[in-house]
Amino acid sequence: MTASLSIIWALTLKELRIESRNRDVAVAIVMFASLVIAIFAIAIEPNARTALETGPGVLWAAITFAGVVGMTRATSHELENDAVGALMLAPVSRDLVFIGKSLGSFVFLTIAMLIVFVVFTFMFNLSIFRAEILLVALLAAIGFASVGTLFSSLIFRVRAREVLLPMLFLPTVAPLLFSAIRVTSVSVAGDTWSASLPWIQLAVVYDVVFVTASALLFGYVLDD
């Protein structure tokens, strides 16, 4: 158990160290999401009513698209000097490699989301730093990180990976996206926790199913 945890920690630390040196992924996510939010804010010119109607959708669409951009960037690191080949030679279980890599992506995504939330608050004049929104954001980050890690490892050798990653990732995370949009909508509209609860439960089920399935299937992805 302790040995597994130290392997996961070492792999997560490796991901964080790479990111701290070049800041490619988090910067790509923050800048892309902020740009999308800014373009929508200019196009919609949100007032108190339109911000409530369109804001949650814009926020989560921006974060999801930016997540794809970030993951494509993260994948390219693995190709440099055949880093993934070296990783596969490591005498550790593949599911631990998956958890370590996913945890790294989860950390970048969470940090990037918090910055994007600040940008959104200014652009749409909606306060989204509420407990239920932060909870669903955390759950979304877990799901995005696990599905994203599985798919980006699956397609990094394909020539058209920039096209394939969004094609695979976006429909797969659709339930999580619905959940995040709905929780944000009901929360900014001033509804109680009970209105958000079914969506939070859905996000929890999604995360449990996909973290487990992705960890189990990851062994087959790197099985050469």
Partner 1 sequence: MGFLKIRAQTALHVATLVAMAFALWMMFVWVPTDINQGVVQRILYIHVPVAWVSMVAIVGVAVASVMYLITKRENWDRLAASMAEVGVVFGAIMLISGMVWAKPVWEVWWTGEAKLTTALILFFIYVAYLMFRAYFPPGDQRMRLSAIIAIIGAIDTPIIYYASVLWQEAHPPLIVGPIAEEENLVAAQIGLTLLVSVIAFSFLFFSLLVTRLSLAKIEHDHEVLKYRIINPEMSAS
Q: Is 85 in the site for partner 1 (CB under 8 A)?
A: no
Q: Is 52 in the site for partner 1 (CB under 8 A)?
A: no
Q: How many CB atoms lie within 10 A of CB 12?
A: 19
Contacting residue, 154, 183, 200, 215, with partner 1 by CB under 8 A: 154
Q: Are 126 and 34 in contact (CB under 8 A)?
A: no
Residues of this chain, 61-80, that bind partner 1 according to CB under 8 A:
none
Q: Is 116 helix (H, G, I), strand (E, B) or coil?
A: helix
CB of 175 to partner 1, least distance (A): 4
Contacting residue, 51, 105, 206, 211, with partner 1 by CB under 8 A: 206
Q: How many CB atoms lie within 10 A of CB 204?
A: 16
With contacts defined by CB under 8 A, name the span among 61-69, 99-107, 117-125, 147-155 that binds partner 1.
147-155
What mask, x for binding partner 1 by CB under 8 A, covers residues 119 to 138?
Answer: --------------------
Two structure tokens written together for 196: 């958000």
CB of 149 to partner 1, least distance (A): 12
Tell which residue, 196, 171, 197, has the closest CA to residue 184.
196
| Alpha helices, DSSP H, located in 23-130 | 24-44, 48-79, 83-89, 94-124
With contacts defined by CB under 8 A, name the span among 8-16, 96-104, 123-131, 148-156 that binds partner 1.
148-156
Contacting residue, 82, 163, 189, 192, with partner 1 by CB under 8 A: 163
d(CA 131, CA 150): 29
Start-to-end CA distance of the chain, whole Å, equals: 27
Contacting residue, 168, 183, 188, 200, with partner 1 by CB under 8 A: 168
Kind plus residue range of the DSSP H or E element containing 9: helix 2-22
Instruction: Compute CA distances 141 → 11, 50, 79, 131, whole Å.
Output: 18, 27, 24, 15
Contacting residue, 47, 80, 81, 223, with partner 1 by CB under 8 A: 223
Applying CB under 8 A, which residues contact partner 1?
147, 150, 154-155, 157-160, 163-164, 167-168, 170-172, 174-175, 178-179, 182, 198-199, 202, 205-206, 209-210, 213-214, 217, 220-221, 223-224
